[in-house]
Amino acid sequence: MNVELYVNQKVTECVKALYGSENVALQLQKTRKEFEGDITLVVFPLATLSGKSPEETGEEIGQWLASNVPQVEAFSVVKGFLNIKLCGAFWREQLVQIAADSSFGCFPPSGKTVMVEYSSPNTNKPLHLGHIRNNLLGYSVSKILEANGHKVIKVNLVNDRGIHICKSMLAWQKFGNGETPQSSGKKGDHLVGEYYVKFDKEYKRQVSSLMHTGVAEDEAKRQAPIMQEAQNMLLLWEQGNDEVFDLWEEMNSWVYEGFDSTYKKLGVCFDKTYYESKTYLLGKEIVKEGMKKGVFFRREDGSVWCDLTADGFDQKLLLRSDGTSVYMTQDLGTARQRFSEYSFSELIYVVGNEQNYHFQVLKVILKKLGYTWADSINHLSYGMVELPEGKMKSREGTVVDADDLIEGMVATARETSLELGKLTDMPAEEQEQLFRTIGMGALKYFILKVDPKKTMLFDPKESIDFNGNTGSFIQYTFARICSVLRKAHEQQLEPDAGAAELGAREVELVKNMADFPQVVAQAGAEHSPALIANYTFELAKEFNQYYHDISILKEENVAVKQQRLALLRQVGKVLKAAMGLLGIELPERM
């Protein structure tokens, strides 16, 4: 039973009985911690119905509820706010209902299809820390939307063509001497990324040389031979040159194998993968259609643009003068293809906030072209991830590699866990799996607990801590619950949610758990896994304080003991469900 809906129903009955009014919009909120109560009614709007002051109106409503609703134990009026306290029997029934609901926190099918695009890597470099935030956000948002009852299509758009890809290819031709992942023993995406960095170093050397001869910097950047070669390679690729195309396929295959390995470590997946090399031509068709409709125009140099100055933007390039496409071209084509395939209710792009302008423009152009579903597009704009030592730069090779970070987290988890000395009887293979679960849980939670819109500072040393707002703390809490339940089972004790009256401490835990569906709904509406993460931490923190203060297995009253075990089991289920929405596993032993 939704607590807020229940109170809303009873107050509605009260307002009808006292004032003869129906269908009144009520304002309810959780009672603030400094006041006694569970739900607070904002009385001010109802004073016009009663013809009395807000305080008198609140007192009148409170008296009616206390007299006519057995579940209302007490009330208090603070100015224009009525604080309502529900009785222990109500919360015991809540625990019984929660325990009986195998899908607690999940909603029935909504009939809504949501597509979530995340990852969107370039095939000229391996995944790095920024990609980790992108992937974890996209996957978690997808899980949360599924819990909200939506059909979710998880998609990846691989940027496998363009000038940046040609830079790696050209550098490999010039400096590679036939090196392959097999010959070097390097992961394919790492190998290709090294040549992207080598291109940039050679490019900067050539620009510097030209500037020393008196050439202006902007002109030197255009004249640099290696950049002109890369631009020519891109043109040859779009013209279907066999030699360039074969090299492109071979180097991309190295990268895909590397990406798949990293995705598996991260625990993310996709329902469908799109490739820019196969969708950019769709965008070119849309550009032709836009030209015919007069939405786009061609400049003297042959380039095609869309004038958005009347919409508060600038003029947007859609095709270069040589006929090659840009990101916007491809995004137009891909969006139309996706809608024709899935007729989505919403399309969410999980992309960093440096692309805010791009997605604003994408929606405007699609609407100008007559696509009414353009309003269904949303950009989940997230902040960048920074390190204690500053920002990362792909071209300079100063990024934090995703694979290195993952293995570093596992190593830290191994070191921290072994120091505790509680795994001596666990087989080595199980230990290694546990270290990976702890390491990945720490990484995911540290990333996801931050509001997506905020730039975040990632410090691996802070992320693995068995105390504090960390994934490891929540995992340890769950393992503690499992340990108690195992011991209870050995003593042939069975949990029973309705065995006894709830104490005040138990009520607080039940109230916290009862909030879970609303948190899931809010996280889905706001596309924010941080709401789930911080709710889970608060529940784990409250449970640990309860565990510290209240006897469970040593309780002499069997009925009370059974009920407390039921409470423990349900807290464990909610923790597991909530962390599952973040893509985090909870081990039963740590």
Q: Could you read off the pLDDT of 538-551 as tens digits, one per residue?
A: 999 999 999 999 99
Nearest to 196 by CA among 251, 130, 121, 125: 125
CB of 576 closer than 8 Å to CB of 515:
no
Tell me which H or E stretch contains 444: helix 428-448
Q: Count other Cβ atoms within 10 Å, centred on residue 135.
A: 27
Q: What is the pLDDT of residue 390?
A: 52
Spacing of C-alpha 24 from chain mean position: 37
Tokens standing for residue 121: 């890597």
Residue 276, exposed/middle/buried by CB under 10 A (0-12, 13-18, 19+)?
buried
Tokens standing for residue 213: 């001869």
Q: What is the pLDDT of residue 162?
A: 86
Cα dihedral across residues 329, 332, 334, 340: positive or negative: negative
What's the chain's length in residues? 590
Q: What is the pLDDT of residue 419?
A: 82
CB of 394 closer than 8 Å to CB of 128:
yes
CA distances from 77 to 40, 44, 56 (A): 9, 12, 9
Nearest to 91 by CA among 109, 78, 104, 72: 72
Residue-wise pLDDT tens digits, 462-514: 777 767 899 999 999 999 999 999 999 999 999 999 999 999 999 999 999 99
Nearest to 400 by CA among 410, 388, 412, 383: 388
Q: What is the pLDDT of residue 395?
A: 44
Q: How far apart are CA 342 and CA 153, in angstroms?
A: 9
Q: What is the pLDDT of residue 573?
A: 98
Nearest to 578 by CA among 538, 525, 542: 538
Q: What is the pLDDT of residue 19?
A: 95
Tokens standing for residue 124: 């000229």
Domain extent listing, the chain: 3-86, 118-289+324-386, 402-580
Q: What is the pLDDT of residue 22?
A: 85
| CATH number attached to the domain at 118-289+324-386 | 3.40.50.620
Q: Which CATH architecture is the domain 3-86 placed in?
A: 2-Layer Sandwich (3.30)
CA end-to-end distance (rounded Å), the chain:
34
Cα dihedral across residues 252, 256, 257, 259: positive or negative: positive
CATH of 402-580 among 3.10.580.10, 1.10.730.10, 2.60.40.1180, 3.40.50.300: 1.10.730.10
Tell me which H or E stretch contains 201: helix 188-212
Give the chain's residues under pLDDT 70.
Answer: 1, 389-399, 461, 466
pTM of the complete model? 0.91
Spacing of C-alpha 576 from chain mean position: 17
Three-class DSSP labels, 462-528: HHCCCCCCCHHHHHHHHHHHHHHHHHHHHCCCCCCCCCCCCCHHHHHHHHHHHCHHHHHHHHHHHCC
Nearest to 141 by CA among 516, 530, 571: 530
Tokens standing for residue 292: 């015919």
Buried b (16+ CB within 10 A) or exposed e, 471-488: bbbbbbbbbbbbebbeeb
Q: What is the pLDDT of residue 397?
A: 46
Residue 23: which region, alpha, beta or left (left: phi > 0; alpha: psi -120 to 50)? left
